[in-house]
Amino acid sequence: MDELDQKILEALNENARTSYREMARKLKVSLSTISNRIRKLEDEGVIERYIPVINQEKLGYALTAIINMKISRGKLIEVQEKISKDKHVSAVYDITGDWDSLIIAHFKDRRDLNGFIKGVLSMEYVERTNTQIVLNIVKDEKRGVF
């Protein structure tokens, strides 16, 4: 990846809907160069997909929770895959330390969160959870780091 690739990624991070023509003009390269570079970045898996960044609160999901989980008997991946399918869940991580997994999820209200936590705790192999509710979001970057 060279400096031009980095500038292309920066432009896409700023607005992935920017036309190739506009990007080429801004970066002072040809349209075909932009097209070829982006195709190469996609083929190499640097760019996986293009998605909208959605404001969860505007959709009624005003509560964000960070949930730590302790999972028993080597069933970490199995449990994580099941939980990751829930519509509330935006991220599932393997982590180091006292907990095995960390979930970031969005809920409409406390009742919604309560139902989710009770469902998780009823799952086989989930030993315990620890839930933290986000009070204020200072930064929640969806764009890549490079």
Helices (H), the chain: 3-14, 20-27, 31-43, 76-84, 110-121
Packed helices 31-43 and 20-27: angle between N→C axes, nearest 10 degrees: 110
The 10s digit of each residue's pLDDT in 56-93 is 999 999 999 999 999 998 899 999 999 999 999 999 99
**DSSP state letter for 21:** H
The 10s digit of each residue's pLDDT in 91-143 is 999 999 999 999 999 999 999 999 999 999 999 999 999 999 999 999 988 77
For residues 30-59, give the mean pLDDT. 94
The CATH number that domain 3-43 falls under is 1.10.10.10
pTM, full prediction: 0.82
Q: Which amino acid is at 111?
A: R
- Interatomic CA distance for residues 106 and 133, integer angstroms: 10
Identify the architecture of domain 57-133 in CATH: 2-Layer Sandwich (3.30)
Q: What is the pLDDT of residue 51?
A: 87
Q: Where are the domains of the chain?
A: 3-43, 57-133
Is the model's pLDDT at 144 over the cut of 80?
A: no
